[in-house]
Amino acid sequence: MKLKRRDVLAAMAAPLAGAAAGCTARKPAEKAVETAKKGKPLDLSEFQPKSMLVVPETKVEKAKFPVVDVHTHFSFPGKAEAGVTWGETLVYLAPPEELLAVMDRRNIQTLVNLTGGYGNGLKECIEKYDKKHPGRFVTFTEPMWEKTNQPDYAKAQAAAIEEAGKAGAKGLKITKVLGLYLREGITSGALVKIDDPRFDPMWEACAAAKFPVAIHVSDPVAFFEPIDRFNERFEELNAHPDWSFHGKDFPSNAEILEARNRVFARHPKTQFIALHAGNFGENLGNVSECLDKFPNMHLEIGARIGELGRQPRMARKFFDKYQDRIMFGTDAVPHGDDTPQQVYGDLLYQIYYRFLETEDEYFDYAPAPVPPQGRWRIYGVGLPDKILRKVYNENAQRLIRLT
């Protein structure tokens, strides 16, 4: 009450101060309209409203069933140029022991590390994590992006997939390097298309090796829109303008997804896990159409509970219809403080469990003082046990061949 009183007094003082400064020429009614319009100045970055809603809050300490998180990154290729990751050497963001402590507390059976690189780096990563802790860590390989303009690339890449399988990798990860960063001259020239035929032997090699392809192409639709007051992710893009794909020579979000769909159609034996809710959680109608059209398409929900949870009724039906094809994932990055919705840790998993297991209303989708992917809150979808089991682990176990 005190705060409110102070606000009222401040609002009353403002027009008085104006009058004292000599602006008495206008009629009181006009002045009132002007004051209402302007109000008190407040920088958007300082706005942190506290919800006054009183609703049940469920703390889900552990997942109801053991979890396979199919989308994490605890290693990364060590070098990057103009957005293209480079070379065999990996950097590691956390040792296995640090990861296992959270896993044990939150009932996580397995973490799938998607960015395991290739060649010697990949082998080293599998030795350090997968082989030291059987069943707890799984590693995916990545394409040799920096070699994509060499004449023998197509063949060499297919051979590298086979090699990765022998080394113990369980799948292939495609980052948004493909479609948004990789160019004909690797870092210069025209953007390489997602359905470029040079990758055909790679997609086929994945089918032969029984590698699912975890594919992240495109990004939230707002990233393809101007960074202005109409953009629903203004604050996020304003803080990271390099995440914007608006203008320049970037294709539209629709063009990217169409090229991706042509790949799905051309390689029906290859299984694809479309990450981030197919990167179109804003339009589940479109994602449904794709799932109906492509039986080799599967989904993962990492960093998109903000989208799914703001349309809980639609999302609930979606989980019901595609319960055999949706997998749990978070896109968790140890110490990834730049993206609060993805920091690997206890809080992150508790939010995901709350979204999937409860019907709690209007809660934060990320452990952050301000919702980092747009200013809204989410609602739980309260999945029944049968669907929870599939999403938490059964679908992943089958597709990634974990047992």
Complex with Zn ion: residue 219 or 331, whichever CB lies closer: 331
Complex with Zn ion: residue 180 or 387, whichever CB lies closer: 180
DSSP 193: P
Q: Are 178 and 193 in contact (CB under 8 A)?
A: no
> Closest distance between Zn ion and the C-beta of residue 377, in Å?
23
Tell me the C-alpha distance between 332 and 111, whole Å.
Answer: 10
> Closest distance between Zn ion and the C-beta of residue 276, in Å?
8
> Three-state SS string across 300-352, please?
ECCCCHHHHCCCHHHHHHHHHHCCCCEECCCCEECCCCCCHHHECCHHHHHHH
Contacts of 402 (CB under 8 A, 6+ apart): 68, 110, 135, 138, 170, 396
Complex with Zn ion: residue 220 or 380, whichever CB lies closer: 220
The residues that touch Zn ion, with contacts defined as CB under 5 A, are 331
137-139: strand order across its sheet = 67-72, 108-113, 137-139
Tell me the C-alpha distance between 344 and 125, whole Å.
Answer: 19
CA angle 92, 97, 98 (to 5 degrees): 70
Q: What are phi and psi of 86, to 5 degrees?
A: -140, 130
> Closest distance between Zn ion and the C-beta of residue 114, in Å?
6
Complex with Zn ion: residue 271 or 341, whichever CB lies closer: 341
Complex with Zn ion: residue 331 or 360, whichever CB lies closer: 331
> Closest distance between Zn ion and the C-beta of residue 216, in Å?
6
Tokens of 326: 């949706």
> Three-state SS string across 72-103, please?
ECCEEEEEEECCEEEEEEEEECCCHHHHHHHH
> Closest distance between Zn ion and the C-beta of residue 188, in Å?
26
Complex with Zn ion: residue 96 or 329, whichever CB lies closer: 329
Tell me the C-alpha distance between 56 and 78, whole Å.
Answer: 45
- How many residues are there in the chain? 403
Complex with Zn ion: residue 112 or 222, whichever CB lies closer: 112
Which residue's C-beta sits nearest to Zn ion? 331
Query: For the chain, how long is the longest CA-to-CA vector?
Result: 84
> Closest distance between Zn ion and the C-beta of residue 301, in Å?
12
> Closest distance between Zn ion and the C-beta of residue 292, in Å?
25
> Closest distance between Zn ion and the C-beta of residue 68, in Å?
15
Complex with Zn ion: residue 113 or 350, whichever CB lies closer: 113
